[in-house]
């Protein structure tokens, strides 16, 4: 009897102990006593991420949020039931302090690094439950920055609670049909009532994590001028003491390409009670802390997705035999995986650099250079890593051949979910334009160049030294182009290439820096290999020959 072939699926081990990049980074970034304190939680989260949560993620594949608008007796309830994995993830997120850590400040300036290390492990096995966590973290920081004692006393302890039965999550209601990233076109109106409570009227076209207990929303106070200067930020509690929605109708759940477990809804606000956060014309300014936080969550999630895809592809390459040899013994396949690994490592280090800058800012130890870097790198890191994640995950799917295209392997979900990363919290183009504004501030370019020089100082490996010249030359070219591009249209046409050049140059500089440390302290040459491979990819994307061929965008008949 002929035995039929059986292909073993890829499997995961402990996602902390198996992650050389994370463990090496934390050995360098954290004091020994801090690492010793947090390593048990990291190890347990790594076991959950590669074990229970990953198995539940696969088993939960077909479960999606369900909206029930009416109960059996004709009452409007607008109840959203989330998946079993999301319910498990919610409890774990609270217990491990995934939002609480930076506000508890147990680890001082390192609290953000510890937080995002746990988030990085947690994210890819929990069907993007990081979405409500990111918005809750952003809401907490926004309320702290706004300084409203009543709201801080009311909401902050719940947002950062480690008790799953007490912990709140927050929504973020900005997007409306007339304008996505262009919030200046917001149509929601806020009217003050005789009882001193504001009430909101309008339609929010795209609201993520609608199952939270609170939300922060933009609206235009009645009588305020049009445009972004007429907007205000409002705090909303979704339900009253009896659990009924307060002037909120859930019109429908969005049918999305990816992040299908996230209950993204279209809402109508019909006199929703709200409290003003900050000035009645300072809404856009008030959401800056929120966007800063959520964009860093996005960047860390991008690195996390890349790591997960590569881990699965690497394990599969050991198990899959083709043309008489395992894939991990075939030069072209290993060449492909090595390139993906280098992209991931660059994204990882850039994301955690930005996370560390946020921690320094929040704990009051950031110097002027770090503040400049946080302002510009929040956008650059998010746009760079978001683009990398989509490209890497596309290659990961291809690394599985036909199996990568089959839904019940769970692999296509990774690619679909990665596609949200360049879109949510500002598309690549929107953030590239934001980068132009940040670079125009005095001191920003000096901060970027001095950081690069600091990272690449002390390189004593000849190949790494040549790669250092490559990174610095690309940054010099970017600065020169920015200074010479006086025409605004030319600047905007090249903004994406400019931002990506800075992002990829700094990723290379970070890889060189960590490789130099790792060679000395760990006697490990793998980061060096990643740095040299990354140096052979496109780093300088600036185009000096600015051809205004934008007529191709319309491509109308002549």
In sequence order, the β-bridge partners of residue 76 are 70
For the domain bounded by 20-131+287-418, which CATH number is listed?
A: 1.20.140.10
**Residue 495: HSE in the Cβ half-sphere, 13 Å Cα cutoff:** 24
The CATH number given to 170-281 is 2.40.110.20
Cα separation of 196 and 194, whole Å?
5
pTM reported for the whole predicted model: 0.97
Report how far residue 328's alpha carbon sits from residue 317's, in angstroms, rounded to the nearest whole number: 5
CA-nearest of 531, 543, 544 to 505 is 531
* Residue pair 432/378 in contact by the 8 Å Cβ criterion: no
Q: What is the DSSP secondary structure assignment for residue 125, as one 8-state letter?
A: G
Q: How would you write the pLDDT of the chain (558 residues) with one tens digit per residue?
A: 677 888 999 999 999 999 999 999 999 999 999 999 999 999 999 999 999 999 999 999 999 999 999 999 999 999 999 999 999 999 999 999 999 999 999 999 999 999 999 999 999 999 999 999 999 999 999 999 999 999 999 999 999 999 999 999 999 998 888 877 788 889 999 999 888 899 999 999 999 868 999 999 999 999 999 999 999 999 999 999 999 999 999 999 999 999 999 999 999 999 999 999 999 999 999 999 999 999 999 999 999 999 999 999 999 999 999 998 999 999 999 999 999 999 999 999 999 999 999 999 999 999 999 999 999 999 999 999 999 999 999 999 999 999 999 999 999 999 999 999 999 989 999 999 999 999 999 999 999 999 999 999 999 999 999 999 999 999 999 999 999 987 899 999 999 999 999 999 999 999 999 999 999 999 999 999 999 999 999 999 998 887 777 777 776 665
489 and 546 Cβ atoms separated by less than 8 Å: no
Is residue 464 a contact partner of residue 512, using CB atoms and an 8 Å limit? yes
Q: How deeply is 507 buried, as exposed, middle or buried, from its count of CB atoms within 10 A (0-12, 13-18, 19+)? A: buried
- CA separation, residue 244 to residues 77, 130, 247 (Å): 7, 26, 9
Q: CA gyration radius for the chain?
A: 24
Q: Locate 544 and state its tokens.
A: 């000096």
């Amino acid at each position: 009897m002929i035995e039929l072939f059986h292909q073993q699926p890829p499997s995961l081990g402990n996602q902390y102990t198996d992650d050389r990049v994370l463990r090496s980074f934390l050995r360098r970034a954290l004091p020994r006593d801090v690492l010793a304190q947090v390593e048990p939680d990291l190890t347990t989260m790594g076991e959950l991420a590669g074990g229970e949560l990953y198995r539940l993620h696969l088993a939960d594949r077909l479960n999606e949020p369900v909206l029930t608008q009416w109960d059996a007796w004709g009452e409007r309830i607008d109840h959203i039931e989330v998946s079993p994995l999301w319910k498990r993830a919610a409890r774990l997120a609270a217990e491990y302090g995934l939002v609480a850590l930076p506000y508890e400040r147990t680890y001082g300036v390192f609290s953000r690094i510890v937080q995002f290390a746990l988030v990085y492990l947690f994210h890819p096995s929990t069907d993007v439950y990081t979405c409500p966590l990111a918005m809750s973290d952003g809401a907490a920081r926004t309320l702290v920055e706004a300084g409203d004692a009543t709201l801080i006393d009311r909401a902050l302890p719940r947002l950062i609670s480690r008790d799953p039965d007490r912990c709140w999550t927050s929504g973020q209601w900005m997007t409306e049909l007339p304008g996505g990233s262009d919030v200046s076109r917001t149509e929601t109106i806020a009217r003050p009532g005789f009882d001193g409570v504001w009430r909101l009227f309008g339609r929010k076209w795209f609201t993520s994590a609608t199952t939270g207990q609170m939300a922060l929303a933009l609206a235009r106070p009645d009588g305020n001028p049009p445009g972004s200067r007429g907007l205000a930020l409002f705090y909303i509690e979704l339900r009253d003491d009896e659990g009924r929605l307060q002037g909120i109708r859930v019109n429908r759940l969005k049918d999305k390409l990816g992040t299908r477990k996230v209950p993204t809804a279209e809402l109508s606000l019909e006199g929703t009670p709200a409290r003003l956060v900050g000035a009645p014309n300072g809404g856009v300014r008030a959401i800056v802390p929120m966007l800063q936080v959520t964009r860093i969550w996005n960047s860390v999630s991008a690195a996390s997705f890349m790591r997960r895809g590569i881990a699965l592809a690497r394990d599969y390459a050991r198990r899959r035999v083709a043309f008489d040899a395992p894939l991990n013994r075939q030069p072209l396949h290993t060449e492909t995986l090595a390139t993906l690994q280098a992209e991931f490592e660059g994204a990882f280090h850039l994301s955690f650099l930005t996370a560390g800058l946020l921690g320094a800012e929040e704990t009051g130890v950031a110097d002027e250079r770090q503040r400049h870097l946080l302002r510009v790198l929040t956008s650059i890191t998010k746009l760079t890593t978001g683009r990398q994640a989509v490209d890497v995950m596309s290659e990961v799917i291809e690394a599985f051949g036909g199996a990568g295209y089959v839904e019940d392997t769970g692999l296509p979900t990774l690619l679909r979910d990665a596609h949200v990363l360049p879109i949510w919290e500002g598309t690549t183009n929107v953030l590239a334009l934001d980068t132009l504004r940040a670079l125009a501030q005095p001191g920003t370019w000096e901060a970027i160049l001095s950081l690069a020089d600091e990272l690449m100082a002390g390189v004593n490996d000849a190949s790494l030294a040549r790669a250092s010249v490559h990174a610095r030359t690309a940054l010099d070219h970017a600065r020169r182009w920015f200074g010479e591009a006086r025409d605004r249209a030319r600047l905007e046409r090249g903004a994406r290439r400019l931002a990506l050049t800075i992002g990829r140059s700094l990723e290379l500089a970070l890889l060189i820096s960590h490789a130099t440390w790792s060679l000395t302290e760990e006697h490990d040459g793998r980061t060096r290999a990643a740095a040299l491979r990354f140096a052979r990819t496109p780093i300088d994307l600036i185009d000096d020959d600015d051809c205004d061929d934008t007529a191709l965008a319309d491509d109308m008949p002549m």
